[in-house]
Structure 1
Amino acid sequence: MSRIAYVNGRFVPKADAMVHIEDRGYQLADAVYEVWALFDGKLADPEGHFARLERSLAELSIDMPMSRAALTVVLKEAVRRNRIREGLVYLQISRGVARRDHAFPTEPVAPAVVVTVSRVDRAATEARAAKGVAVVTTPENRWGRCDIKTVGLLPNALAKQKAREAGAVEAWFVDELGLVTEGASSNAWIVDGDGVLRTRDTQANILRGVTRLTLLDVAREAGLKVEERPFTLEEALAAKEAFITGAGSLVLPVVAVDGKTIGGGSPGPVAMELRRLYIERAKATAV
Protein backbone atom coordinates (compact mmCIF):
# COMPACT_ATOMS: atom_id res chain seq x y z
CA MET A 1 0.00 0.00 0.00
CA SER A 2 1.34 3.44 -0.96
CA ARG A 3 1.89 5.96 1.80
CA ILE A 4 -0.56 8.86 2.02
CA ALA A 5 0.29 12.48 2.83
CA TYR A 6 -1.92 15.44 3.62
CA VAL A 7 -0.94 18.59 1.72
CA ASN A 8 -2.96 21.80 1.94
CA GLY A 9 -6.40 20.27 2.21
CA ARG A 10 -5.88 17.10 0.17
CA PHE A 11 -4.85 13.54 0.93
CA VAL A 12 -2.55 12.35 -1.84
CA PRO A 13 -0.10 9.49 -2.45
CA LYS A 14 3.17 10.52 -0.85
CA ALA A 15 5.02 9.98 -4.13
CA ASP A 16 2.80 12.66 -5.68
CA ALA A 17 2.82 15.11 -2.76
CA MET A 18 4.26 18.53 -3.60
CA VAL A 19 4.63 22.01 -2.19
CA HIS A 20 5.05 25.20 -4.19
CA ILE A 21 8.62 26.30 -4.93
CA GLU A 22 7.87 29.64 -3.26
CA ASP A 23 6.60 28.10 -0.05
CA ARG A 24 8.37 30.13 2.64
CA GLY A 25 9.15 27.00 4.59
CA TYR A 26 11.18 25.69 1.67
CA GLN A 27 12.92 28.97 0.81
CA LEU A 28 13.34 30.68 4.19
CA ALA A 29 12.73 28.01 6.87
CA ASP A 30 9.73 30.17 7.79
CA ALA A 31 7.82 27.26 9.26
CA VAL A 32 7.30 25.19 12.39
CA TYR A 33 6.74 21.50 12.94
CA GLU A 34 5.56 18.98 15.52
CA VAL A 35 6.07 15.23 15.88
CA TRP A 36 3.72 12.96 17.83
CA ALA A 37 4.59 9.43 18.88
CA LEU A 38 1.87 7.01 17.84
CA PHE A 39 0.80 4.17 20.13
CA ASP A 40 -1.87 1.76 18.88
CA GLY A 41 -2.99 4.36 16.36
CA LYS A 42 -3.32 7.13 18.96
CA LEU A 43 -1.41 10.40 19.40
CA ALA A 44 0.79 10.53 22.51
CA ASP A 45 1.08 13.65 24.69
CA PRO A 46 -1.63 15.44 22.68
CA GLU A 47 -2.07 18.50 24.91
CA GLY A 48 1.65 19.19 25.16
CA HIS A 49 2.25 18.98 21.42
CA PHE A 50 -0.74 21.16 20.49
CA ALA A 51 0.20 23.75 23.11
CA ARG A 52 3.80 23.89 21.84
CA LEU A 53 2.61 24.10 18.23
CA GLU A 54 0.33 27.02 19.04
CA ARG A 55 3.12 28.77 20.95
CA SER A 56 5.64 28.29 18.12
CA LEU A 57 3.18 29.68 15.57
CA ALA A 58 2.38 32.65 17.79
CA GLU A 59 6.09 33.44 18.27
CA LEU A 60 6.46 33.64 14.48
CA SER A 61 3.11 35.42 13.93
CA ILE A 62 1.78 32.55 11.81
CA ASP A 63 -1.93 31.87 12.12
CA MET A 64 -3.22 28.46 13.11
CA PRO A 65 -4.46 27.08 9.78
CA MET A 66 -7.52 25.53 11.44
CA SER A 67 -8.90 24.89 14.89
CA ARG A 68 -7.21 22.38 17.18
CA ALA A 69 -10.25 20.11 16.82
CA ALA A 70 -10.14 20.24 13.02
CA LEU A 71 -6.37 19.64 12.99
CA THR A 72 -6.85 16.62 15.24
CA VAL A 73 -9.29 15.21 12.71
CA VAL A 74 -6.73 15.71 9.92
CA LEU A 75 -3.97 14.02 11.91
CA LYS A 76 -6.15 11.05 12.84
CA GLU A 77 -7.39 10.68 9.28
CA ALA A 78 -3.78 10.62 8.05
CA VAL A 79 -3.07 7.85 10.55
CA ARG A 80 -6.15 5.91 9.45
CA ARG A 81 -5.36 6.18 5.75
CA ASN A 82 -1.81 4.98 6.30
CA ARG A 83 -2.98 2.08 8.49
CA ILE A 84 -0.13 2.62 10.93
CA ARG A 85 -0.58 1.72 14.59
CA GLU A 86 2.95 2.28 15.94
CA GLY A 87 4.88 5.18 14.52
CA LEU A 88 5.36 8.93 14.24
CA VAL A 89 3.11 11.68 12.90
CA TYR A 90 4.88 14.69 11.39
CA LEU A 91 3.12 18.03 10.96
CA GLN A 92 4.65 21.08 9.27
CA ILE A 93 3.04 24.50 8.98
CA SER A 94 4.72 27.27 6.99
CA ARG A 95 3.71 30.90 6.63
CA GLY A 96 2.53 29.99 3.14
CA VAL A 97 3.32 30.68 -0.49
CA ALA A 98 4.42 34.17 -1.55
CA ARG A 99 6.87 35.93 -3.84
CA ARG A 100 10.32 35.49 -2.33
CA ASP A 101 11.07 38.30 0.09
CA HIS A 102 12.65 38.13 3.52
CA ALA A 103 9.90 40.25 5.07
CA PHE A 104 6.44 38.79 5.58
CA PRO A 105 4.02 38.93 2.63
CA THR A 106 2.32 42.32 2.32
CA GLU A 107 -0.95 40.62 1.52
CA PRO A 108 -1.75 37.79 3.97
CA VAL A 109 -1.49 34.27 2.57
CA ALA A 110 -2.90 31.01 3.91
CA PRO A 111 -0.49 28.90 5.97
CA ALA A 112 0.68 25.74 4.19
CA VAL A 113 0.08 22.44 6.00
CA VAL A 114 1.78 19.07 5.46
CA VAL A 115 1.18 15.85 7.42
CA THR A 116 2.97 12.52 7.00
CA VAL A 117 2.93 9.32 9.02
CA SER A 118 5.77 6.81 9.35
CA ARG A 119 5.99 3.39 10.93
CA VAL A 120 8.19 2.57 13.95
CA ASP A 121 9.39 -0.94 14.77
CA ARG A 122 8.74 -1.00 18.52
CA ALA A 123 10.61 -4.28 18.96
CA ALA A 124 13.70 -2.70 17.41
CA THR A 125 13.42 0.43 19.54
CA GLU A 126 13.08 -1.66 22.71
CA ALA A 127 16.17 -3.63 21.72
CA ARG A 128 18.08 -0.38 21.22
CA ALA A 129 16.98 0.89 24.63
CA ALA A 130 18.03 -2.37 26.29
CA LYS A 131 21.51 -1.97 24.81
CA GLY A 132 21.88 1.78 25.22
CA VAL A 133 23.34 4.25 22.74
CA ALA A 134 26.38 6.47 22.31
CA VAL A 135 26.41 10.23 21.86
CA VAL A 136 29.09 12.69 20.77
CA THR A 137 29.43 16.34 21.70
CA THR A 138 29.63 19.37 19.44
CA PRO A 139 29.97 23.12 20.12
CA GLU A 140 26.69 25.01 20.50
CA ASN A 141 26.28 27.04 17.31
CA ARG A 142 22.53 27.52 16.92
CA TRP A 143 20.44 30.68 16.92
CA GLY A 144 19.06 32.21 20.11
CA ARG A 145 15.46 30.97 19.77
CA CYS A 146 15.73 27.20 19.94
CA ASP A 147 12.60 27.31 22.11
CA ILE A 148 10.62 27.74 18.87
CA LYS A 149 10.25 24.46 17.00
CA THR A 150 11.15 25.74 13.55
CA VAL A 151 12.30 23.78 10.51
CA GLY A 152 15.59 25.74 10.54
CA LEU A 153 17.59 22.69 11.57
CA LEU A 154 20.85 22.87 9.62
CA PRO A 155 23.09 22.94 12.74
CA ASN A 156 21.11 19.98 14.09
CA ALA A 157 21.50 18.09 10.82
CA LEU A 158 25.26 18.70 10.82
CA ALA A 159 25.46 17.52 14.44
CA LYS A 160 23.50 14.37 13.60
CA GLN A 161 25.84 13.67 10.71
CA LYS A 162 28.82 14.05 13.04
CA ALA A 163 27.20 11.52 15.36
CA ARG A 164 26.52 9.09 12.52
CA GLU A 165 30.10 9.27 11.27
CA ALA A 166 31.29 8.48 14.82
CA GLY A 167 28.94 5.51 15.12
CA ALA A 168 26.76 7.35 17.64
CA VAL A 169 23.01 7.94 17.70
CA GLU A 170 22.84 11.50 18.99
CA ALA A 171 24.94 14.65 19.41
CA TRP A 172 24.87 16.87 22.48
CA PHE A 173 25.46 20.59 22.06
CA VAL A 174 27.88 22.09 24.61
CA ASP A 175 27.87 25.84 25.16
CA GLU A 176 30.78 28.23 25.82
CA LEU A 177 30.53 27.56 29.56
CA GLY A 178 31.02 23.84 29.05
CA LEU A 179 27.36 23.09 29.84
CA VAL A 180 25.32 20.57 27.87
CA THR A 181 22.30 22.34 26.36
CA GLU A 182 20.42 19.52 24.61
CA GLY A 183 20.67 16.95 21.85
CA ALA A 184 20.28 17.58 18.13
CA SER A 185 16.79 16.04 18.31
CA SER A 186 16.30 15.33 21.99
CA ASN A 187 16.64 16.64 25.53
CA ALA A 188 19.62 15.49 27.61
CA TRP A 189 19.44 14.06 31.16
CA ILE A 190 21.76 12.59 33.77
CA VAL A 191 21.45 10.91 37.14
CA ASP A 192 24.29 12.61 38.98
CA GLY A 193 26.59 11.20 41.63
CA ASP A 194 24.09 12.10 44.36
CA GLY A 195 21.29 10.26 42.58
CA VAL A 196 19.57 13.48 41.47
CA LEU A 197 17.83 13.46 38.09
CA ARG A 198 18.94 16.56 36.18
CA THR A 199 18.03 18.22 32.90
CA ARG A 200 18.52 21.75 31.56
CA ASP A 201 15.84 24.29 32.49
CA THR A 202 13.73 25.82 29.74
CA GLN A 203 14.84 29.36 30.59
CA ALA A 204 17.99 28.41 28.68
CA ASN A 205 18.05 28.29 24.90
CA ILE A 206 16.58 24.81 24.51
CA LEU A 207 13.48 23.29 23.03
CA ARG A 208 10.61 22.84 25.44
CA GLY A 209 10.43 19.09 24.92
CA VAL A 210 6.98 17.61 25.37
CA THR A 211 8.34 14.19 26.30
CA ARG A 212 10.67 16.02 28.70
CA LEU A 213 7.72 17.78 30.35
CA THR A 214 5.73 14.58 30.78
CA LEU A 215 8.76 12.74 32.12
CA LEU A 216 9.37 15.40 34.76
CA ASP A 217 5.90 14.69 36.07
CA VAL A 218 6.37 10.93 35.83
CA ALA A 219 9.71 11.11 37.66
CA ARG A 220 8.31 13.18 40.51
CA GLU A 221 5.36 10.83 40.87
CA ALA A 222 7.88 7.98 41.10
CA GLY A 223 9.51 9.75 44.06
CA LEU A 224 12.73 10.77 42.33
CA LYS A 225 14.54 13.96 43.24
CA VAL A 226 14.46 16.10 40.12
CA GLU A 227 16.31 19.34 39.38
CA GLU A 228 16.00 21.45 36.25
CA ARG A 229 19.63 22.46 36.43
CA PRO A 230 22.39 22.41 33.80
CA PHE A 231 25.27 19.97 33.94
CA THR A 232 28.75 20.09 32.48
CA LEU A 233 30.24 17.54 30.14
CA GLU A 234 32.51 16.49 33.02
CA GLU A 235 29.47 15.90 35.24
CA ALA A 236 27.86 13.83 32.51
CA LEU A 237 30.97 11.66 32.21
CA ALA A 238 30.97 11.15 35.99
CA ALA A 239 27.22 10.49 36.19
CA LYS A 240 25.63 7.27 37.32
CA GLU A 241 23.35 7.30 34.29
CA ALA A 242 22.48 9.40 31.27
CA PHE A 243 19.65 9.33 28.77
CA ILE A 244 17.82 11.33 26.13
CA THR A 245 14.13 12.00 25.58
CA GLY A 246 12.01 12.88 22.57
CA ALA A 247 8.95 11.79 20.61
CA GLY A 248 11.10 9.44 18.53
CA SER A 249 13.50 8.22 21.20
CA LEU A 250 10.97 8.26 24.09
CA VAL A 251 13.41 7.60 26.97
CA LEU A 252 16.67 6.22 25.57
CA PRO A 253 19.64 5.31 27.81
CA VAL A 254 23.05 6.76 26.92
CA VAL A 255 25.99 4.49 27.76
CA ALA A 256 28.88 6.46 26.22
CA VAL A 257 29.74 10.09 25.49
CA ASP A 258 32.61 10.90 23.12
CA GLY A 259 33.76 7.31 23.43
CA LYS A 260 33.88 7.40 27.25
CA THR A 261 31.68 4.99 29.18
CA ILE A 262 28.87 6.31 31.38
CA GLY A 263 28.17 4.44 34.61
CA GLY A 264 28.77 0.76 34.07
CA GLY A 265 28.47 1.00 30.29
CA SER A 266 24.94 -0.42 30.22
CA PRO A 267 21.48 1.13 30.65
CA GLY A 268 20.86 2.14 34.24
CA PRO A 269 17.83 1.19 36.35
CA VAL A 270 16.48 4.73 36.60
CA ALA A 271 16.42 5.29 32.84
CA MET A 272 14.84 1.92 32.13
CA GLU A 273 12.18 2.38 34.78
CA LEU A 274 11.39 5.89 33.54
CA ARG A 275 11.11 4.53 30.01
CA ARG A 276 8.59 1.95 31.20
CA LEU A 277 6.60 4.50 33.19
CA TYR A 278 6.64 7.05 30.36
CA ILE A 279 5.34 4.56 27.81
CA GLU A 280 2.68 3.47 30.27
CA ARG A 281 1.57 7.10 30.76
CA ALA A 282 1.74 7.89 27.03
CA LYS A 283 -0.46 4.94 26.13
CA ALA A 284 -2.97 5.77 28.83
CA THR A 285 -3.35 9.42 27.76
CA ALA A 286 -3.05 9.06 23.97
CA VAL A 287 -6.03 10.16 21.86
Structure 2
Amino acid sequence: MSRTVYVNGEFVAEEAAKISVFDRGFIFADGVYEVSSVIGGKLIDNAAHLARLARSCKALSIDLPASGDEITAIQKELITRNDLDEGVVYLQVTRGAADRDFPFPKVATPSLVMFTQVKTLVASKAAEAGIRVITTPDLRWGRCDIKTVQLLGAVLAKQAAADAGVDDAWFVDAGGDVTEGSSNNAYIVKDGRIITRALSTALLPGITRASVVKLAAETGMTIEERPFTVAEAQGADEAFVTSATTFVTPVIRIDGAKVGAGTPGPVARRLREIYINHALKTAV
Protein backbone atom coordinates (compact mmCIF):
# COMPACT_ATOMS: atom_id res chain seq x y z
CA MET A 1 0.00 0.00 0.00
CA SER A 2 1.40 3.40 -0.94
CA ARG A 3 1.86 6.22 1.52
CA THR A 4 -0.27 9.29 1.70
CA VAL A 5 1.83 12.43 1.28
CA TYR A 6 1.00 16.12 1.57
CA VAL A 7 1.65 18.51 -1.31
CA ASN A 8 0.54 22.14 -1.19
CA GLY A 9 -2.80 21.73 0.50
CA GLU A 10 -3.67 18.19 -0.61
CA PHE A 11 -3.26 14.72 0.83
CA VAL A 12 -2.48 12.44 -2.12
CA ALA A 13 -1.07 8.98 -2.82
CA GLU A 14 2.70 9.17 -3.26
CA GLU A 15 2.37 7.99 -6.89
CA ALA A 16 0.16 10.99 -7.63
CA ALA A 17 2.34 13.57 -5.86
CA LYS A 18 3.64 16.27 -8.19
CA ILE A 19 5.73 19.41 -7.84
CA SER A 20 6.50 21.95 -10.57
CA VAL A 21 9.67 21.48 -12.59
CA PHE A 22 10.18 25.22 -12.00
CA ASP A 23 10.13 24.88 -8.21
CA ARG A 24 13.16 26.74 -6.88
CA GLY A 25 13.87 23.98 -4.40
CA PHE A 26 14.47 21.67 -7.37
CA ILE A 27 16.43 24.20 -9.45
CA PHE A 28 18.41 26.16 -6.82
CA ALA A 29 18.02 24.19 -3.56
CA ASP A 30 16.16 27.34 -2.52
CA GLY A 31 14.35 25.81 0.41
CA VAL A 32 14.57 24.47 3.94
CA TYR A 33 13.43 21.31 5.73
CA GLU A 34 12.87 19.65 9.07
CA VAL A 35 12.58 16.05 10.25
CA SER A 36 10.51 15.25 13.34
CA SER A 37 10.76 11.82 14.90
CA VAL A 38 7.69 9.79 15.82
CA ILE A 39 7.48 7.26 18.65
CA GLY A 40 4.22 5.55 19.51
CA GLY A 41 2.48 7.68 16.91
CA LYS A 42 3.54 10.91 18.65
CA LEU A 43 5.89 13.70 17.58
CA ILE A 44 9.19 14.25 19.41
CA ASP A 45 10.55 17.78 20.11
CA ASN A 46 8.22 19.03 17.38
CA ALA A 47 7.70 22.58 18.67
CA ALA A 48 11.46 23.13 18.63
CA HIS A 49 11.70 21.75 15.08
CA LEU A 50 8.99 24.12 13.89
CA ALA A 51 10.68 27.05 15.64
CA ARG A 52 13.89 26.24 13.77
CA LEU A 53 11.90 25.94 10.54
CA ALA A 54 10.58 29.46 11.06
CA ARG A 55 14.10 30.70 11.79
CA SER A 56 15.47 29.07 8.62
CA CYS A 57 12.68 30.56 6.51
CA LYS A 58 13.28 34.00 7.99
CA ALA A 59 17.01 33.76 7.24
CA LEU A 60 16.21 33.10 3.56
CA SER A 61 13.26 35.53 3.36
CA ILE A 62 10.84 32.70 2.58
CA ASP A 63 7.29 33.14 3.85
CA LEU A 64 6.00 30.17 5.83
CA PRO A 65 3.00 28.85 3.88
CA ALA A 66 1.24 27.67 7.08
CA SER A 67 1.27 28.40 10.79
CA GLY A 68 2.94 26.12 13.31
CA ASP A 69 -0.43 24.81 14.48
CA GLU A 70 -1.52 24.13 10.89
CA ILE A 71 1.74 22.30 10.14
CA THR A 72 1.37 20.20 13.30
CA ALA A 73 -2.18 19.28 12.32
CA ILE A 74 -0.96 18.13 8.89
CA GLN A 75 1.85 16.12 10.46
CA LYS A 76 -0.60 14.36 12.79
CA GLU A 77 -2.99 13.67 9.92
CA LEU A 78 -0.17 12.05 7.95
CA ILE A 79 0.76 9.93 10.97
CA THR A 80 -2.86 8.78 11.23
CA ARG A 81 -3.38 8.16 7.51
CA ASN A 82 -0.15 6.18 7.24
CA ASP A 83 -0.63 4.39 10.55
CA LEU A 84 2.90 5.45 11.56
CA ASP A 85 3.99 4.13 14.95
CA GLU A 86 7.73 4.74 14.76
CA GLY A 87 9.64 6.75 12.19
CA VAL A 88 9.77 10.34 10.97
CA VAL A 89 7.74 13.08 9.35
CA TYR A 90 9.78 15.01 6.77
CA LEU A 91 8.64 18.50 5.77
CA GLN A 92 10.06 20.88 3.19
CA VAL A 93 9.35 24.50 2.39
CA THR A 94 10.66 26.10 -0.81
CA ARG A 95 10.34 29.58 -2.24
CA GLY A 96 7.97 28.17 -4.84
CA ALA A 97 7.79 27.95 -8.62
CA ALA A 98 8.91 30.68 -11.01
CA ASP A 99 10.76 30.88 -14.31
CA ARG A 100 14.46 30.17 -13.74
CA ASP A 101 16.31 33.29 -12.63
CA PHE A 102 18.72 33.77 -9.73
CA PRO A 103 17.09 36.75 -7.92
CA PHE A 104 14.01 36.10 -5.81
CA PRO A 105 10.88 36.09 -8.00
CA LYS A 106 8.52 39.01 -7.51
CA VAL A 107 5.57 36.60 -7.47
CA ALA A 108 5.85 33.04 -6.13
CA THR A 109 3.82 30.96 -3.71
CA PRO A 110 5.96 29.01 -1.22
CA SER A 111 5.62 25.25 -1.52
CA LEU A 112 4.98 22.91 1.42
CA VAL A 113 5.58 19.16 1.09
CA MET A 114 5.45 16.48 3.82
CA PHE A 115 5.79 12.72 3.96
CA THR A 116 6.35 9.96 6.51
CA GLN A 117 9.02 7.25 6.68
CA VAL A 118 9.04 4.13 8.81
CA LYS A 119 12.28 3.85 10.82
CA THR A 120 13.40 1.89 13.87
CA LEU A 121 14.50 4.56 16.32
CA VAL A 122 14.42 3.21 19.88
CA ALA A 123 15.73 -0.35 19.43
CA SER A 124 18.68 0.82 17.34
CA LYS A 125 21.36 -1.72 16.41
CA ALA A 126 23.74 1.15 15.66
CA ALA A 127 23.27 2.59 19.13
CA GLU A 128 23.76 -0.80 20.72
CA ALA A 129 26.97 -1.62 18.83
CA GLY A 130 28.31 1.89 18.22
CA ILE A 131 29.24 3.37 14.86
CA ARG A 132 32.49 3.91 12.97
CA VAL A 133 33.21 7.23 11.30
CA ILE A 134 35.78 8.69 8.96
CA THR A 135 36.70 12.36 8.71
CA THR A 136 36.41 14.50 5.60
CA PRO A 137 37.21 18.16 4.81
CA ASP A 138 34.29 20.49 5.49
CA LEU A 139 33.64 22.04 2.09
CA ARG A 140 30.09 23.19 2.78
CA TRP A 141 28.81 26.75 2.52
CA GLY A 142 29.26 29.21 5.37
CA ARG A 143 25.70 29.12 6.74
CA CYS A 144 25.38 25.56 8.00
CA ASP A 145 23.16 26.92 10.78
CA ILE A 146 20.33 27.24 8.24
CA LYS A 147 18.74 23.85 7.55
CA THR A 148 18.58 24.10 3.77
CA VAL A 149 17.84 21.35 1.27
CA GLN A 150 21.30 21.93 -0.25
CA LEU A 151 22.80 18.72 1.14
CA LEU A 152 25.35 17.73 -1.49
CA GLY A 153 28.20 18.06 1.01
CA ALA A 154 26.43 15.64 3.34
CA VAL A 155 25.62 13.30 0.45
CA LEU A 156 29.29 13.15 -0.61
CA ALA A 157 30.43 12.65 2.99
CA LYS A 158 27.99 9.80 3.57
CA GLN A 159 28.98 8.20 0.27
CA ALA A 160 32.66 8.44 1.23
CA ALA A 161 31.79 6.67 4.47
CA ALA A 162 29.87 3.98 2.58
CA ASP A 163 32.79 3.53 0.17
CA ALA A 164 35.13 3.15 3.15
CA GLY A 165 32.87 0.50 4.68
CA VAL A 166 31.98 2.56 7.76
CA ASP A 167 28.82 4.14 9.10
CA ASP A 168 29.21 7.91 8.83
CA ALA A 169 31.59 10.85 8.42
CA TRP A 170 32.62 13.84 10.51
CA PHE A 171 33.44 17.17 8.87
CA VAL A 172 36.79 18.79 9.73
CA ASP A 173 37.42 22.49 9.15
CA ALA A 174 40.55 24.09 7.69
CA GLY A 175 42.05 24.45 11.15
CA GLY A 176 41.78 20.72 11.85
CA ASP A 177 38.83 20.91 14.23
CA VAL A 178 35.70 18.74 13.96
CA THR A 179 32.64 20.83 13.08
CA GLU A 180 29.88 18.20 13.15
CA GLY A 181 28.79 14.92 11.63
CA SER A 182 27.34 14.63 8.14
CA SER A 183 23.80 14.83 9.56
CA ASN A 184 24.35 15.10 13.31
CA ASN A 185 26.20 16.95 16.06
CA ALA A 186 29.47 15.46 17.32
CA TYR A 187 30.75 15.04 20.89
CA ILE A 188 33.63 13.53 22.81
CA VAL A 189 33.90 12.61 26.49
CA LYS A 190 37.17 13.10 28.38
CA ASP A 191 37.69 12.75 32.13
CA GLY A 192 33.95 12.95 32.70
CA ARG A 193 33.49 16.14 30.63
CA ILE A 194 31.23 16.18 27.59
CA ILE A 195 32.86 18.32 24.89
CA THR A 196 31.06 19.63 21.81
CA ARG A 197 31.62 22.54 19.49
CA ALA A 198 29.81 25.76 20.40
CA LEU A 199 27.00 26.86 18.10
CA SER A 200 27.90 29.19 15.23
CA THR A 201 27.19 29.58 11.53
CA ALA A 202 29.54 26.62 10.96
CA LEU A 203 27.14 23.99 12.28
CA LEU A 204 23.46 23.25 12.69
CA PRO A 205 21.83 24.08 16.03
CA GLY A 206 20.54 20.56 16.56
CA ILE A 207 17.19 20.17 18.28
CA THR A 208 18.29 16.90 19.87
CA ARG A 209 21.59 18.59 20.77
CA ALA A 210 19.71 21.27 22.72
CA SER A 211 17.66 18.68 24.61
CA VAL A 212 20.64 16.45 25.36
CA VAL A 213 22.83 19.33 26.59
CA LYS A 214 20.01 20.53 28.86
CA LEU A 215 19.28 17.04 30.18
CA ALA A 216 22.97 16.33 30.76
CA ALA A 217 23.36 19.55 32.77
CA GLU A 218 20.24 18.74 34.81
CA THR A 219 21.74 15.33 35.59
CA GLY A 220 24.94 16.95 36.90
CA MET A 221 27.15 16.20 33.91
CA THR A 222 29.74 18.78 32.85
CA ILE A 223 29.34 20.30 29.37
CA GLU A 224 32.26 22.07 27.70
CA GLU A 225 31.48 23.90 24.45
CA ARG A 226 34.69 24.26 22.45
CA PRO A 227 36.36 22.91 19.31
CA PHE A 228 38.23 19.61 19.40
CA THR A 229 40.67 18.05 16.94
CA VAL A 230 40.50 14.64 15.30
CA ALA A 231 43.49 13.50 17.39
CA GLU A 232 41.76 14.65 20.56
CA ALA A 233 38.63 12.74 19.55
CA GLN A 234 40.64 9.59 18.86
CA GLY A 235 42.21 9.90 22.32
CA ALA A 236 38.92 10.53 24.10
CA ASP A 237 37.27 8.17 26.56
CA GLU A 238 34.07 8.16 24.49
CA ALA A 239 32.52 9.82 21.46
CA PHE A 240 28.93 10.06 20.26
CA VAL A 241 26.54 11.88 17.95
CA THR A 242 23.04 13.26 18.36
CA SER A 243 20.27 13.88 15.86
CA ALA A 244 16.50 13.63 15.54
CA THR A 245 16.70 10.12 14.10
CA THR A 246 19.72 8.70 15.95
CA PHE A 247 18.97 10.27 19.37
CA VAL A 248 22.30 9.59 21.15
CA THR A 249 24.51 7.09 19.31
CA PRO A 250 28.03 6.09 20.44
CA VAL A 251 31.02 6.40 18.08
CA ILE A 252 33.56 3.63 18.64
CA ARG A 253 36.12 4.27 15.87
CA ILE A 254 37.34 7.44 14.14
CA ASP A 255 39.44 7.01 10.99
CA GLY A 256 40.10 3.44 12.08
CA ALA A 257 41.38 4.40 15.54
CA LYS A 258 39.54 2.88 18.48
CA VAL A 259 37.86 5.40 20.80
CA GLY A 260 38.30 4.43 24.44
CA ALA A 261 37.64 0.72 24.84
CA GLY A 262 36.18 0.53 21.32
CA THR A 263 32.71 -0.12 22.69
CA PRO A 264 29.78 2.18 23.61
CA GLY A 265 30.67 3.99 26.81
CA PRO A 266 28.62 4.67 29.94
CA VAL A 267 28.08 8.40 29.32
CA ALA A 268 26.61 7.89 25.85
CA ARG A 269 24.50 4.98 27.03
CA ARG A 270 23.15 6.98 29.97
CA LEU A 271 22.41 10.04 27.84
CA ARG A 272 20.53 7.91 25.31
CA GLU A 273 18.40 6.44 28.09
CA ILE A 274 17.71 9.88 29.59
CA TYR A 275 16.83 11.38 26.22
CA ILE A 276 14.45 8.58 25.20
CA ASN A 277 12.67 8.82 28.56
CA HIS A 278 12.34 12.58 28.05
CA ALA A 279 11.09 12.09 24.49
CA LEU A 280 8.42 9.62 25.54
CA LYS A 281 7.19 11.92 28.32
CA THR A 282 7.02 15.06 26.17
CA ALA A 283 5.82 13.61 22.83
CA VAL A 284 2.64 15.14 21.38
Q: What's the TM-score bracket when you normalise by the shorter of the two chains?
A: over 0.9
Equivalent position of 1:18 in the other structure: 18
Which of 229, 232, 238 is residue 232 of structure 1 equivalent to? 229
Equivalent position of 1:110 in the other structure: 109
SS at match of 1:213: helix
Q: CA deviation at 1:122?
A: 4.0
Alignment of 1:204-223 (within 5 A): 204-223=201-220
Alignment of 1:9-48 (within 5 A): 9-48=9-48
Distance 1:121 1:64 in 2: 30
Which of 230, 236, 242 is residue 239 of structure 2 equivalent to? 242
1:145-183 Cα deviation digits (max 9, x unpaired): 000000001111000000111122211000111100001
Distance 1:25 1:122 in 2: 28
Distance 1:128 1:156 in 2: 19
Partner amino acid, structure 1, of 2:4: I
SS at match of 1:2: coil
Q: CA deviation at 1:121?
A: 2.3
CA RMSD, Structure 1 to Structure 2 (Å): 1.0
Distance 1:103 1:266 in 2: 50
Equivalent position of 1:175 in the other structure: 173
Equivalent position of 1:5 in the other structure: 5
Q: Does 1:275 align with 2:272?
A: yes
Distance 1:116 1:198 in 2: 35
Distance 1:223 1:42 in 2: 29
SS at match of 2:37: strand
1:8-35 Cα deviation digits (max 9, x unpaired): 1111111221211000000000000000
Q: TM-score, normalised by structure 1?
A: 0.97
Equivalent position of 1:160 in the other structure: 158
Q: Does 1:189 align with 2:193?
A: no
Distance 1:204 1:93 in 2: 21
Query: Quick one: percent identity of the two aligned structures?
Result: 49
Partner amino acid, structure 1, of 2:193: V
Report how many residues are paired. 284
Label 1:122 to 1:208 Cα distance change in 2 as closer, same or farther (>3 A): closer
SS at match of 2:69: helix
Where do 4+ consecutive residues of structure 1 move more than 6 Å? Answer: none
Partner amino acid, structure 1, of 2:260: G
SS at match of 1:164: helix
SS at match of 1:157: helix
Q: CA deviation at 1:210?
A: 0.3
Equivalent position of 1:142 in the other structure: 140
Structure 2: runs of 5+ lacking an equivalent: none
SS at match of 1:208: coil
SS at match of 1:64: coil
1:57-77 Cα deviation digits (max 9, x unpaired): 000000111111111101111
1:221-256 Cα deviation digits (max 9, x unpaired): 111000111111111000000001101111110000
Partner amino acid, structure 1, of 2:188: I
Q: CA deviation at 1:127?
A: 2.3
Q: Does 1:258 align with 2:264?
A: no
Structure 1: runs of 5+ lacking an equivalent: none
SS at match of 1:48: helix
Q: Does 1:87 align with 2:74?
A: no
Distance 2:165 2:208 in 1: 25
Distance 1:121 1:238 in 2: 31
Distance 2:166 2:45 in 1: 27
